[in-house]
Chain A
């Protein structure tokens, strides 16, 4: 590097928002249980921001795994209500494992499978076809999708053909106080 040029350069370390929030202990990863669907039945997984949480959720990455031999559809929904048979996921953890006691998210991850009822409330903003025997990994959304208290981010899995399907969803996000 020419000497004059190096004098003018300002070097900085670029900490991405997910990395910054992981350091701060407020970045979380949640996985659903194994979801069974197909033959007219759907499955669903999402993170819900409780109305009294005092935080906004900044959504980062989703992954959808397809364990079956047929493609299916993953629909991304904002603020949809949970299906009636939804249960709370226990596989939620902070990405920063170096903090003791481990931070606990305000958001709640829920999932449901083998249901036929349509989604209520919310809006389906985009979707992805998930190829057989693969894991679709979204790009980092870097917190461009922000869920306020009382809202949710969720993914509805819909079969495209009549066959039984197994899949799972992973969602990652961070939380900032209002």
Chain B
């Protein structure tokens, strides 16, 4: 660094840089939540997903996911974008706005869904990454800061492959914000 620049350091402005998800939380647009407990095994798969309904009129920006593996064996989770997911789905009630100081509490348009013991695999969409999860741990992936952008009618899902005959339990959590599409 040159001496000329060093002199200027005395005049540097101090700024408070907000991460983008924090800014959206101030606006009441940031949400956190988790699926119900997901069960699979014995040849049956399962999944947990953030689903942006077709009529939502918002884009969903993913910030974080976590996968908790309650079992004694490792498990494999496949990350899928915009796939059609098999089986009977449940919509989770376990979510909240990050900003709990706004009354009434903001409600997300995006839904957290999951399905246990499904046959078959995701159709369409893109199989975009894979995560191996160690026994009895919570894998965390934070600070995507909106890298995955999911439009209305699309989804971000974690698909769990049956680990043979063993029956296993897992749970998925997400953090995301929503912006008008």
CA distance A14 to B17 in the complex (A): 6
A146 touching B98 by the CB < 8 A rule? yes
B21 touching A144 by the CB < 8 A rule? yes
- Using C-beta atoms within 8 Å of the partner chain, give the interface range for chain B: 35 or more
- The segment out of B8-16, B76-84, B154-162 that lies at the interface is B8-16
Cβ–Cβ < 8 Å partners of B103 in chain A: 148
Taking the nearest CB of chain B, how far is it from the CB of A125, in angstroms? 5
CA distance A78 to B68 in the complex (A): 19
Taking the nearest CB of chain B, how far is it from the CB of A58, in angstroms? 9
Residue in B18, B93, B136, B140 whose beta carbon sits within 8 Å of that of A71 in the complex = B136
Task: Encode B7-36 as 1/0 by CB contact (under 8 A) with A.
Answer: 011001111111101100110001011100
B8 touching A139 by the CB < 8 A rule? no
Which chain A residue has the least Cβ–Cβ distance from B32?
A125
Residue in B25, B95, B98, B140 whose beta carbon sits within 8 Å of that of A123 in the complex = B95
Quick one: given A131-B137, A139-B143, are A145 and B13 in contact (CB under 8 Å)? Answer: no
Taking the nearest CB of chain A, how far is it from the CB of B16, in angstroms? 5
Residue in A15, A144, A148 whose beta carbon sits within 8 Å of that of B25 in the complex = A144
Which chain B residue has the least Cβ–Cβ distance from A71?
B136
B32 touching A127 by the CB < 8 A rule? no
How many chain A residues touch B (CB < 8 A): the figure is 33
At the interface, yes or no: B131 with Cβ under 8 Å from chain A? no
Identify the interface centre among B5, B17, B94, B138: most chain A CB within 10 Å of its CB: B138
Cβ–Cβ < 8 Å partners of B173 in chain A: 125-127
At the interface, yes or no: B89 with Cβ under 8 Å from chain A? no
At the interface, yes or no: A142 with Cβ under 8 Å from chain B? yes
Task: Encode A1-40 as 1/0 by CB contact (under 8 A) with B.
Answer: 1000010001111111100100000000000000000000
Question: Could you list some 10 contacts between A and B, CB below 8 A?
Answer: A10-B13, A13-B12, A13-B15, A15-B15, A17-B16, A128-B138, A128-B140, A129-B137, A131-B137, A142-B22
Q: Chain B residues in contact with chain A, CB under 8 A?
A: 1-2, 4-5, 8-9, 12-19, 21-22, 25-26, 30, 32-34, 66, 68-70, 93-96, 98-103, 136-138, 140, 142-143, 171, 173, 175
What are the 9 closest A-B residue pairs judged by CB atoms, nearest first? A148-B101, A126-B173, A144-B25, A128-B138, A125-B32, A146-B99, A56-B101, A144-B22, A129-B138
Question: 9 more A-B contacts (CB under 8 A) besides A123-B93, A126-B34, A139-B142?
Answer: A11-B9, A12-B14, A15-B16, A71-B136, A126-B32, A129-B70, A146-B101, A148-B101, A160-B136
